[in-house]
Each structure stands twice: as C-alpha cells, then as structure tokens.
Amino acid sequence: MQISRIASPLKLLTIALKVGRVTKKYPFGPPLLTESFRGAISIDPAKCWGCGACTLVCPPNALTMRLEGEKIVLEYFKGRCIFCGMCADTCPANAIIVTKEFELAATSVEDLKEDVIHKMSKCAICGKPFVATAEIRDVMKMQPITEEYANICPECRKKRAVKAFGMRFGAST
C-alpha cells in the first residue's frame, strides 16, 4: 500500500517523459493540418463561367448569384461556408479549388465576402442581356454546333422554333 502510493506519481512521471511535449506551438509554430482538411474555397475568375451550378448545391447558400444591371455577381460569403467542398465537385469548369486556409477571423462580416463580377451577353434578336459572356465563350469551345443559337436568348429561340414549325404547316408568317 505504502509502496504503491510512492510509486504512482513516479509511474505518471515516466509516462509523461516517454510521451514528451505534445502542445502545438501555434500561432508561433505550424498548425496541425491533416491531409484531408478542407478550408475556404477559392474561385478562379479566369475559369468561372458564371453558370450558377455551385449556388444550387451549396447547402448553406454561402454562394449566391445576383443581377446588378447588366452584370452577374457571384458572391461567396466565407462566414456562412461550411467547407464541404460540394461546389468544387459540381463546378463544370473546375474553377473552384478547396484551399487549406483557416485563419479567416475578421472583425466585420463584410471582410468575409468575395465577389466575382461577370459581364453579360446581349441577345442578338431582342437585345436583352441573358447570360454571362464567359459561359458562351466556353460552351462554344466545347460544342461548336451550338454556335448558331449561342447568341440568342431562350425566349427568342422559342419564338423562332414556333415560327419555323408553323411555316412547315402552311402558316403565312
């Protein structure tokens, strides 16, 4: 009984000496980041089409899209992002990469926002802006067959198809 009372702190000491120091020195040393850690995403403006696929899959709506006159603005709000990486999986242009950035603390919510501003293309028939210019550019690279339709908005395309269909059945205009 007496011996074990003396021996138990010694045992603890030997374990502590064997394990050594475990405390991470962060922020004075490197952080403990594993291979599978996901941090904030980064959108490459050179690759992004402005298609909005990422805004549809984002679970907390951290990625949103809004129209500002003749511009499409893709907004990324880091404060609401849950770092799931679903947008990176979905993006058809591979414009999104998941970084390991985690030092995102900010004193204002505005500092956590990121805007990607796209120009819009105008419809060749009615002149209404309808899609991001980058999307037309890249879709045409992938599917040259769409060239004839690419500059026309969905409504005008519909009207044209109805007209062509009617003419086939003998309508005058």
Partner 1 sequence: MKLEERLRGVRRSPWVYHLNSGSCNACDIEILDALTPFFDAERFGVKLVASPRHADVVLFTGPVTREALPKVVKTLKAVPRPRIVVAIGSCAVGGGIWWNTYSTIGGFEKFQGVLKQQGVEIDKVVYVPGCPARPEAIIYGLLLALGYVKQKVSKVVKVVES
Stretch that binds ligand SF4, among 21-29, 87-95, 101-109, 159-167 (CB under 6 A): 87-95
- Per-position x/- string for 66-105, each x denoting binding to partner 1 as judged by CB under 8 A, each - no binding: -----------xxxxxxx------------------xxxx
Taking CB under 8 A as the rule, does residue 54 contact partner 1?
no
Taking CB under 8 A as the rule, does residue 56 contact partner 1?
no
Nearer to ligand SF4, 118 or 156 (CB): 118
CB 92 within 8 A of CB 68: no
Q: From CA 24, how far away is CA 8, in angstroms rounded?
A: 27
Taking CB under 6 A as the rule, does residue 91 contact ligand SF4?
yes
Residue 144 tokens read as 């040259």
SS3 string of 142-157? Answer: HCHHHHHHHCCCHHHH
Q: From CA 57, how far away is CA 52, in angstroms rounded?
A: 9
Nearer to ligand SF4, 50 or 156 (CB): 50
Stretch that binds ligand SF4, among 1-9, 55-63, 119-127, 151-159 (CB under 6 A): 55-63
Nearest to 109 by CA among 75, 83, 138: 75
> Rounded to an integer, what is the distance from CA 9 to the centroid of its chain?
54
Taking CB under 6 A as the rule, does residue 120 contact ligand SF4?
no
Residues in Cβ contact with 23 at an 8 Å cutoff, skipping those fewer than 6 apart? none
Task: Enumerate binding residues for ligand SF4 (CB under 6 A).
Answer: 41, 43, 48-54, 57-60, 62-63, 74, 81-87, 91, 93, 95-96
